[in-house]
Amino acid sequence: MATKDIRLKKLYDSMGSMISNLHLQKGKLSHEEMYCLLSVLDYTLMGKSDTNFIALLREWQASELEPEINEIIKATLMSVDFKKPASVIKNMEIIRGLIRYNNELKDS
């Protein structure tokens, strides 16, 4: 088996365990937050997503957002049904719009 393949599988499994532990052991994630992060992990690492989704998550993390907008984006992400491509596309658009809106606020 290719080393890269194993590394990817290891990364995926370790991330999955870490997310679950943050809920079970440390109580740092709510049940819903854990589910959402596990779904994001599956979506991004199991070959289901396009690069746009990952780029958007990076953009979100890199942006200096108003706390309220940040919360709305988080809530939007948690409402995504990752099994339905239409839901992913629709909510990606909303998140993109919110980041744009935040940037406009900062510029004005």
Contact positions vs other proteins (CB under 8 A) = 1, 6, 9-10, 12-14, 16-17, 20-21, 24-25, 34-35, 38-39, 41-42, 46
CA distance 69 to 83: 25
CA distance 102 to 84: 27
User: Of 12 and 101, which has the nearer Cβ to other proteins?
Assistant: 12
Q: How far is the CB of 107 from other proteins (least distance, A)?
A: 39
User: Of 44 and 102, which has the nearer Cβ to other proteins?
Assistant: 44
Q: How far is the CB of 67 from other proteins (least distance, A)?
A: 29
CA distance 95 to 101: 10
Is residue 32 within 8 A of residue 75, CB to CB? The reply is no
CA nearest neighbour of 60 among 50, 46, 74: 74
User: Of 45 and 69, which has the nearer Cβ to other proteins?
Assistant: 45
